[in-house]
Structure 1
Amino acid sequence: MRQEVEARITATSIEVFWRGKRVASHVRSHRPHRPTTVAEHMPSSHRRYRDWTHERIRREAGKVGADAATLIDVILRSRPHPEQGFRSAIGILGLVKRYGGERVDAACAQALAINTRSYTSVAAILKSGTSKASQPAQDAPVLVHADIRGPGYYH
């Protein structure tokens, strides 16, 4: 990692050499602008997301709430490769353990309203406490007092 390497590229393969020793060899892909990552060569921080699928992420987001599902769908669609949005999406889903589903869904609604699409934005909204899930409105207390005239007074 972070070392200078040499590469031998042919029509069918790519070989990578470090200090004269071949350290990797891959079949060459001819699909333009498409990644062809070998799982063993992925950083460990990326490898843990390998088992997540689009369907699983969307299903988990749907369990949190409609706004969470919408935000995560926007995140996945906004990246050139949807897998690039997995870390943000899974991070947002992980916030449920700490803040609860209602608060995370409310934070996702706020993130959608201000047009942000990242884990850090949702986490900041939750941390600042501006995403408190709306409490049920309580009726105003009925005032009973001798000085209150009531609607019949004006007729």
Structure 2
Amino acid sequence: MDWYRDQARGIGDEAVELIECIIAKRVHPEQAYRSCDGILALSRKVGKVPLLRAAKIALSVNEPTYSFVKRLIQNGVSDLTPASSPKPARLPEHNNIRGKTYYQKP
């Protein structure tokens, strides 16, 4: 287990947290070794930056699994930056909108 954490430290903080979550989810830590091996292999295959982005997304949506991280990388979701995500549009102003005063009790 410590070996996986040490290897993840070489990648980044999100990778360490991801490895720790994967290990913690298992009843026996040995059951998580293959998933941890897969995470480390992904970092060698695609690089540290895409893996760290995917790990951050996986941790934020509480889905810290190898398969989820792999799908994020395969689908290119980890390449998105916060600036490229669409911002919600504001509704246009017009006379037909009632406003909060309409619903006030007399």
Higher RCO structure (Cα 8 Å, ≥6 apart): 2
Q: CA deviation at 1:117?
A: 2.4
Q: What is aligned with 2:45?
A: 98
Are the aligned partners of 1:65 and 1:102 in contact in 2 as well (CA < 8 Å)?
Answer: no
Largest Rg, 1 or 2 = 1
Q: 1:133 Cα shift?
A: 7.0
Q: 1:124 to 1:63 in 2, by over 3 A?
A: same
Per the alignment, residue 76 of structure 2 pairs with 129
Q: 1:118 to 1:75 in 2, by over 3 A?
A: same
**Shift >4 Å, 4+ stretches:** none
Instruction: Specify which of 62, 69, 81 is matched with residue 9 of structure 2.
Output: 62
Unaligned runs of 5+ in 1: 1-53, 136-155
Q: Which residue identity does 1:131 align to in structure 2?
A: S
Could you tell me how far apart the structure 2 residues matched to 1:61 and 1:133 are? 22
Over aligned residue pairs, what C-alpha RMSD do you find? 1.6
Q: How many residues end up aligned between the 2 structures?
A: 82
Residue by residue over 1:69-127, the C-alpha shift from the partner in whole angstroms, topping out at 9 and shown as x without a partner, is 10110110110001111111110110012210111011001100111121111000000
**Which of the two has greater strand per residue?**
1
